[in-house]
Structure 1
Amino acid sequence: MMRTLRIAALAAATLCASQAAAAACPPPDRDAAALIALKTADFEMADAAARETMAFALIDCLASPDPAMRDGIAYEGLQRWLRAKVFSPETLRALRTRLFAQLDAPDPDGVARPFAALVLSELARTDRIAPWMRLDEREAMVERAASYLESVRDYRGYDAEVGWRHGVAHGADWAMQLALNPALDRAQLDRLRQAVAIQAVPAAGHAYVFGESERLARPLLFIAKRDLHDEADWSAWFAALSARLGDPALAWKDAGWLARRHDLAAVLQMLYLQVDLGDDPGMAKMKPGLVAALKALP
């Protein structure tokens, strides 16, 4: 009981800190050199309480405009600990609360939300490897992941100074980790599939150049592997995806239409390659609709 209260208090304190004008990164008791040393030591921390405190501190560093701090230390450290299964369900819940708050917080540099989503993909993975979420918690996470992916309007990928933002790709990774979880039902998979469709052919007419189409294809492949959708359902889904191209009168003479065609062709081709090379029965049910969509592509 005391441990649960301590973790809850830590999460509350961290949430309050996140609402301050500037997050502490590096944290007050560590400088950048200390964090680099921690990474060099493969993020080994023998003291479990200190490790938990550091995990919450590193969430603030996900908002750092310095890619070495944000990606190379904060994300890598959190991923390392989440994959090592060092946190209790109580700590995982507290981390989830803190990351959800970061999705809702201002993000002036456009990096905090995408990296919160990326860490949330790792958090979702922990529940697949060793289930700890209640049904309502898992349902809420599916909705948060789908809503986040649908909401992305910052399509910046890599920048030489800031590094990666990659909101769409990170949202797709989160959807993929959830789609891999056998505890999800068909309605939840449909919610993720709906979100993927929004960004697979974004209405804004942005042409992907940083591998987003490949990342968006992955959750679809794992949804198909669950084999909960028949050929007719996939055919209808691909037809609806193709309809996102927009007004046929714009074909070949509108920049937005051309960008949407580029994205649609990319995701269809990514999927076809995997389906054609594979022998999974669920994925095979995608093929008729996928082939029809490719043949109908202007």
Structure 2
Amino acid sequence: MRPALLLALCLLAAPSSAQPCPPAGHTAASLQALKAKQFALADAAEKRTLATGLLACLSDPNPDLRDSIAYEALSQWMRAGDFDAPTLRAIRDSLYSLLDGEDRAGFGKPFAALALSEVARTDRVAPWMSAEERAAMVERAAAYVESVSDYRGYIEGDGWRHGVAHGADWLMQLTLNPALDRAQYQRILSAIAAQAVPRSGHAYVFGEPERLARPLLFAAKRGLLSSEDWSAWFTALAAKVGKLDRADYAGWLGRRHDLMAFLTLLYREADQSDDAAIKALKPAIAAALKPA
């Protein structure tokens, strides 16, 4: 392996938490200038090195560095097919390290998940992961979505955290991948159920139900689950609201709010869809919408 490529891959594999933001050799102003040029970099090695540095910026409290520069640059480069499989694998593993690390400010994990949705997309467009790697990513994504307990969305000055929505985007890119099997779709649906009606009773206000609905609809479109599977899933989802308990009225009301928001938009999509598999969801959704 060429020394320059080996160095780049070693840098990519290094934990992003050990790197500064802005990356060495860059300033916020120089990164803004690069954004103004639509992140155009002619030198492939320079682009790989900068991608490494920008991973640390996914945890930065400055939303311009985190969202408008780091995420946008990584997304653009991956969508353009600028990275080969070894580079994508190293980016993925560094993002996994972000998910596993501390995240006191609450930005790193949601934005690692969002960046991982772009990594998953590259594998969907031009497969490079092994079946084992893909299965591991499905489990990683599902476990991340289930783990989210910080429900902050947009805060003026902070920008977005949006852990549930970003995790749902990761699940969506995976559900679009035709390489997934029935068991993997069921694992994804289990994660969706965990957050469509969170046990805490947090009431969503930042579009989370819509984002969670997307991977479900794409899973339905694959047609790998039977009508009995869907009926059982929606029945179990509705049961998560629980019986009205005056001692936990706010929690019950929040769960009911989330269930109704999620089911109502799914029913609308099923009613208006031209896809037979999605339209077939209507009876199970309608049954779940009925008062207990």
Q: TM-score range by the shorter chain?
A: over 0.9
Note the alpha carbon deviations across 1:176-212, whole angstroms, 9 max, x for none.
0000000100101110000000000000110000000
Find the partner of 2:258 among 243, 254, 263. Answer: 263
Distance 2:260 2:32 in 1: 42
Corresponding residue for residue 10 of structure 1: 11
Distance 1:158 1:73 in 2: 18
Distance 2:46 2:8 in 1: 12
Corresponding residue for residue 292 of structure 1: 287
Distance 1:83 1:168 in 2: 23
Shift of 1:250: 1.8
Shift of 1:253: 6.8
Corresponding residue for residue 42 of structure 1: 38
Paired residues for 1:1-298 under 5 Å:
1-2=1-2, 5-12=6-13, 14-15=14-15, 18=17, 20=18, 23-246=19-242, 248-250=243-245, 254-296=249-291
Shift of 1:7: 4.1
Q: Is the 8 A contact 1:252 1:258 kept in 2?
A: no
Shift of 1:252: 10
Q: Is the 8 A contact 2:5 2:45 kept in 1?
A: no
Note the alpha carbon deviations across 1:243-288, whole angstroms, 9 max, x for none.
1002x14279700000000000000011111100012121122111
Aligned AA (2:249): D
Distance 1:57 1:44 in 2: 16
Q: Which runs of 4+ in 1 moved over 2 A?
A: 1-8
Note the alpha carbon deviations across 1:137-160, whole angstroms, 9 max, x for none.
000000000000000000000000
Aligned AA (1:8): L
Shift of 1:231: 1.2
Distance 1:131 1:226 in 2: 18
Could you say what the CA RMSD is over the residues aligned between the two structures, in angstroms?
A: 1.4
Distance 2:81 2:217 in 1: 27
Q: Is the 8 A contact 1:7 1:90 kept in 2?
A: no
Aligned AA (2:251): G
Q: Normalized against structure 1, the TM-score is what? A: 0.95
Distance 2:98 2:85 in 1: 20
Note the alpha carbon deviations across 1:216-252, whole angstroms, 9 max, x for none.
0000000000011121110110000001002x14279
Q: Is the 8 A contact 2:203 2:258 kept in 1?
A: yes
Q: Is the 8 A contact 1:146 1:175 kept in 2?
A: yes
Q: Is the 8 A contact 1:234 1:285 kept in 2?
A: no
Distance 1:105 1:49 in 2: 27
Distance 1:249 1:119 in 2: 39
Count of residues paired in the alignment:
291
Shift of 1:8: 3.4
Q: Is the 8 A contact 2:154 2:160 kept in 1?
A: yes
> Which runs of no fewer than 5 residues in structure 2 stay unpaired?
none
Distance 1:231 1:151 in 2: 29
Aligned AA (1:234): W
Distance 1:242 1:224 in 2: 18
Shift of 1:125: 0.4
Q: Is the 8 A contact 2:8 2:49 kept in 1?
A: no
Distance 2:211 2:192 in 1: 10
Aligned AA (1:154): D
Distance 1:235 1:4 in 2: 51
Aligned AA (1:9): C
Note the alpha carbon deviations across 1:22-52, whole angstroms, 9 max, x for none.
x411112011110000100000000000000
> Which runs of no fewer than 5 residues in structure 1 stay unpaired?
none
